[in-house]
Amino acid sequence: MRSEVNSLLSLVSLFNQGNFDLVGNNFPVFFIRDGMKFPDMVHALKPNPKSHIQENWRIRDFFSHHPESLHMFTYLFDDIGIPQDYRHMDGSGVHTFTLINKAGKMHYVKFHWKPTCGVKSLLEDHAVRVGGANHSHATQDLYESIATGNYPEWKLFIQIMDPADEDRFDFDPLDVTNTWPEDILPLQPVGRMVLNRNIDNFFAENEQLAFCSSIIVPGIYYSDDKMLQSRIFSYSDTQR
């Protein structure tokens, strides 16, 4: 089992205003900042179309031309690179969205999920043993935890920035290869998510879901984050 990026897809219900699809990963950053390069990145990561074998040289070749990916790789190859299971995994919206209040004032926002049971990871040797014995161990752990009433829970936090203060910082808040320093822009708790029921029919209830970054609700809007702008189009286009 190798280090890899895991998705955490969440549907945030906001009273009677609808659902906000918060499509994210277990790391707070992404490999590239330009959505136009996303198809090339996917091709580099996917198996060879003829042999269906993933080729490391193609991965190294692509990312060697994109040094901004180094931040993501420091997460990927750190001790937190392989989550122990889904219950002990952070989640991040990655992108910068905007919040708009009743007065029409706009603020940049980032979303973060933190598991109440803490983050736990596997080192490579242990991951090889666990994954070799049961490649569905994380799914099984999640299912059995819910079935026995040990409901997984995540706290939802946000970081907020006034766009007027954007030039005060030495980083681009709309760049998905950057994080927002928590000592400057602290995490603020705003909600929680509890998984308290397993589905009855995986195909009917799970496989039919189609999350999309373009699905928002009043009070939440997009930003000029280039990768977000690309995903707004690409998700719905792919699903059609």
d(CA 209, CA 211): 6
pLDDT classification of 238: cutoffs 50, 70, 90: confident
DSSP assigned state of 121: B
User: How do residues 93-151 score in pLDDT, each as one tens digit?
Assistant: 999 999 999 999 999 999 999 999 999 999 999 999 999 999 999 999 999 999 999 99
Confidence (pLDDT) at 234 = 78
The CATH number corresponding to 2-239 among 2.40.180.10, 1.10.260.40, 1.20.1070.10, 3.40.50.2300 equals 2.40.180.10
Mean pLDDT of 33-47: 93
Contact 200, 75 (CB under 8 A): no
| pTM of structure | 0.90
- Can you give the residue ranges of every domain in the chain? 2-239
Sequence-distant (6+) residues with CB within 8 A of 1 are 82, 122, 124, 127, 128, 130, 131, 132
DSSP assigned state of 48: P
